[in-house]
Chains A and B, each alone.
Chain A
């Protein structure tokens, strides 16, 4: 193989590697974009359920999610938690512990009003 041919083969290999990297990057970005598009579509579909949610929520005690139905007082934490005298049981893990590493969004605090 001549020097020119060797250089040519080397350049092709380099271009192939660079192309591979660019393709991988494009695929990664495309996957992330697909997530954003899919999430937006699911949000739009969920927004169509809003009248149904409003109608049912109107007859419910709270808008709390039915996630802790077996956990005694915690079914409706927004109504019950402020005055809960005890947790689920002695030495049980607190499902809603006081304190956390992740603070709520600042906008929530900004909108906070002092409880009368």
Chain B
């Protein structure tokens, strides 16, 4: 028993046992790997989406003010800006002109964003030209020249390239066709693939927005920690408006992607339960041959702990390899292949998908959490019946008792 009782001997016996029942081991390990892959892929994808949303959050205004009429968003008025600029701690209030325009050829909306003119008569796109790499092609807008910068995906879908002029299907006959002068970099595809940036006057014409009206007001404050107090003051000065603080957006993103992930996982529960039932049946229902094998081991001098160790190694061998394979499959599925079959469920069903790859937020803690969450119940399922069989008198088992 000196060799068999050693760790390597027990491990070798466990591997040999798996090899003898390789069909069962492959079926069990394969099922476990696919279940882990599904759960891990959903977690990886939702984490990646949430982190991408958070990545751009710092650049947006501290507070956004919208008017509601009958529960629906309505236009803000020019006078509203003056009511807010006097609030202490408010650094600036900007009336923003943006909205959606339905393109029949796309069968979807594009986001029209109007860029205001600054004091010098040029458009407020200085940051776009200051930072290297914001545009994949072309240049920023020139005020009054009826130009546009779009997401690369939108330009591709419309079949236009830099220098081309495109008339957009606005209900306003005075809306001027716009010349494409640049496309956003693929680095911002996730945020701007459906965006059409143009002069504010052109945006008003396309969206049929009267001069002086605005879609919403962007408020920047000197101390972001005071945003909540300022929001209350804004509500007091502009009753009937909706005030959205930047800090709350983190919660919105967590909820949006957490819920979507939860929905997918909830839909997968029947499949996961079926796998667990199968695993329980396969692992707990020791066959006659296995029980005789355990009885023989006990008869030749193996202790109960030796038998349990052998069964533990068997379960760990299947569980560790299947979990690792599942996590690797999930990672490849989401971040190498772009999550085909899963992306539309979690991401949405836009006709104009950003093609940019997602950035993985996977770390050792997350992988360890998934591995332990799978391995602990799996190993537990296999040890209990083995302990029962090992505790039975070998003679009884041999006699078929």
Contacts and interface: CB of A to CB of B under 8 A. Distances in A.
Interface of A: 11, 13-18, 20-22, 24-25, 28-29, 31-32, 35-36, 38-40, 42-43, 46, 49-72, 74-83, 85, 95-105, 108-109, 111-113, 115-116
A13 B15 CA distance: 11
14 contacts: A14-B8, A35-B360, A42-B359, A55-B130, A66-B111, A69-B193, A70-B106, A70-B107, A78-B248, A85-B71, A100-B261, A102-B265, A108-B254, A116-B235
B217 to A, nearest CB: 12
B59 A57 contact: yes
Interface of B: 3, 8-9, 11-16, 19, 49, 52-60, 64, 66, 68, 71-73, 96, 98, 100, 106-111, 113, 115, 124-125, 127-128, 130-134, 151, 184-185, 187-195, 197, 215-216, 228, 231-232, 235, 242-245, 247-256, 258-263, 265-266, 269, 313, 317, 320-321, 324-325, 327-328, 331, 335, 347-354, 359-364, 367, 371
Most buried by B among A57, A66, A102: A66
B194 A75 contact: yes
Contacts of B187: 49, 52-53
Nearest to B125: A59
Nearest to A113: B228
A77 B244 CA distance: 12
Contact of B15 (A21, A59, A96, A99): A21
B72 A35 contact: no
A76 B271 CA distance: 33
Given A68-B350, A79-B64, A101-B262, A17 B324 contact: no
B254 A17 contact: no
Given A46-B359, A70-B109, A53 B55 contact: yes
A29 B323 CA distance: 10
Most buried by B among A55, A74, A97: A55
A17 to B, nearest CB: 4
B367 A36 contact: yes
A18 B11 contact: yes
B113 A60 contact: yes
Contacts of A78: 244, 248-249, 252-253
Contacts of A71: 348-350
A15 B12 contact: yes
A11 B3 contact: yes
Most buried by A among B13, B113, B262, B335: B262
B16 A17 contact: yes
B243 A65 contact: no
Contacts of A102: 258-259, 261-262, 265
A79 B216 contact: yes
Contacts of B251: 104, 108-109, 111-112
B242 A82 contact: yes
Contact of B192 (A16, A42, A60, A81): A60
Contacts of A43: 359-361
Contacts of A59: 113, 115, 124-125, 127-128, 197
Contacts of A66: 111, 151, 189-195, 350, 352, 354
Given A56-B128, A104-B254, A72 B190 contact: no
A95 B60 contact: no
B164 to A, nearest CB: 21
Given A60-B60, A112-B248, 7 more contacts: A17-B19, A36-B364, A69-B193, A75-B194, A76-B111, A79-B66, A109-B251
B105 to A, nearest CB: 12
The 8 A-B residue pairs whose C-beta atoms are closest, nearest first, are A100-B262, A70-B108, A102-B262, A63-B56, A28-B324, A57-B59, A100-B259, A104-B254
B260 A83 contact: no
A31 B64 CA distance: 45
Given A58-B127, A102-B259, A35 B327 contact: yes
